[in-house]
């Protein structure tokens, strides 16, 4: 009965799902039923093509924002490498390395609340250099930019803009006070208006509850986000969340299931923190929702080996 309720909410009222309604249904659904429904939707609604991307930390550290999870925040005491925007040659080298291994997308990521006009121009020059020497699709994650900046990035050859909401709008002020969820949503809307695809997700395990995870998924649904990075918090020494307790495998699987249920046709993208999971848990997530991944290293933490990722993707029956 509960599974039929969820189906009816999704099929008949897909754009009218309230947080209370979804929370009441999902919180009363057994773990096994959630997993079964998510697996069904992954098979029938989600793409079987496994979408891969890689990222480069194109500008590192000295960020003025006070995000509690982030090692690049100037408010925190993490030990990281600090540098300004990398050269176009270095970015191209890594882009081509990933393209040669079959990775479909390459994302330039910079620290900071937003880039200056001159920095946006530098990034545009890097994008043009990569596009002139490679066929890999270019994504960018550059903070809270204007509509004019978005148009410049599109004209340079970028195809997608990334800006994570990070967590539920109601919970975000507990983790960061120097910018807001509304600032992020405005940035995503500016990217869409300019003609860029958008990518947005969050970090799971920062003290939020099941209700907040549902709220995040519903917010992403309202923005029609089709690429959703899902990070598992990897507590970093020197950040306020360095002692945050680890999530259980069941809690993480339940989270992946609700994201697939709420976002049946989106690419749910494995991102940071997945090295903390067992192989069995990683495989299970790919059965019930995960059909994309950031491969290679993350921004300031070690990621996963690309060849091992490709083997796992094929093992789980996805096209690469």
pLDDT of 121: 97
pLDDT of 300: 41
pLDDT of 44: 93
Measured N-to-C along each axis, helices 19-27 and 2-12 cross at an angle, to the nearest 10 degrees, of 150
Count of CB atoms situated within 10 Å of the CB of 302: 11
Q: Report long-range pairs for 303-312 (Cβ below 8 Å, ≥24 apart).
A: 303/272, 303/275, 304/274, 304/275, 306/54, 306/98, 306/101, 306/103, 307/101, 309/52, 310/101, 310/102, 312/282, 312/283, 312/286
The Cα 201–Cα 99 span in angstroms is 24
Helix (H) or strand (E) holding 132: helix 117-133
Q: Spell out the domains of the chain, with CATH numbers in brackets.
A: 51-315 (3.20.20.70)
pLDDT of 299: 43
Q: Report long-range pairs for 252-255 (Cβ below 8 Å, ≥24 apart).
A: 252/204, 252/205, 252/277, 252/281, 252/285, 253/31, 253/35, 253/281, 253/284, 253/285, 253/288, 254/31, 254/34, 254/210, 255/204, 255/210, 255/213, 255/230
pLDDT of 302: 46
Contact 40, 11 (CB under 8 A): no
Question: Among 140, 111, 114, which residue's Cα sits nearest to residue 125?
Answer: 140
Mean pLDDT, contiguous 10-residue spans, the chain (320 residues)? 67 74 89 93 95 92 86 74 91 91 93 93 98 97 96 98 98 97 98 98 97 97 97 91 93 96 95 89 96 72 67 89
pTM: 0.93
Name beta bridge partners: 199: 162, 227
- Tell me the longest C-alpha to C-alpha distance in the chain: 58
φ/ψ of 149, rounded to 5, equals -60, -40
pLDDT of 77: 75
Give me the DSSP letters along 31-63.
HHHHHHHHHHHHHHTS-SB-EEEEEEEEEBS-B
């Amino acid at each position: 009965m509960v599974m039929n309720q969820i189906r009816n909410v999704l099929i008949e009222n897909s754009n009218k799902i309230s947080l209370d309604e979804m929370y009441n249904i999902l919180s009363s659904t057994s773990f096994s039923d959630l997993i079964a429904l998510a697996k069904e939707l992954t098979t029938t609604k989600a793409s079987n093509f496994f979408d891969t991307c890689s990222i480069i930390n194109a500008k590192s550290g000295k960020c003025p924002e006070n995000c509690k999870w982030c090692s690049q925040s100037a408010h925190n005491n993490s030990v990281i490498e600090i540098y300004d925007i990398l050269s176009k040659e270095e970015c191209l080298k890594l882009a081509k390395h990933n393209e040669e291994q079959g990775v479909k997308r390459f994302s330039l990521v910079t620290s900071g609340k937003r880039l200056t006009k001159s920095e946006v121009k530098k990034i545009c020059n890097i994008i043009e250099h990569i596009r002139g020497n490679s066929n890999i699709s270019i994504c960018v994650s550059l903070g809270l930019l204007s509509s004019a900046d978005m148009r410049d990035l599109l004209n340079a050859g970028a195809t997608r803009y990334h800006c994570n909401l990070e967590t539920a709008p109601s919970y975000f002020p507990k983790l960061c006070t120097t910018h807001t969820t509304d600032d992020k949503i405005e940035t995503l809307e500016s990217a869409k208006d300019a003609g860029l695809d958008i990518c947005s997700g969050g970090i799971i395990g920062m003290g939020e509850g099941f209700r907040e995870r549902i709220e995040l998924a519903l917010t992403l649904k309202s923005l029609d986000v089709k690429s959703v990075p899902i990070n598992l918090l990897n507590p970093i020494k020197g950040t306020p969340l360095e002692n945050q307790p680890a999530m259980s495998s069941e809690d993480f699987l339940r989270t992946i299931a609700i994201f697939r249920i709420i976002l049946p046709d989106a690419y749910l993208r494995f991102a940071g923190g997945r090295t903390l999971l067992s192989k069995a848990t990683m495989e299970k997530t790919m059965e019930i929702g995960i059909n994309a991944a950031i491969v290679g290293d993350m921004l300031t933490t070690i990621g996963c080996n690309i060849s091992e990722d490709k083997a796992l993707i094929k093992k789980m029956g996805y096209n690469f």
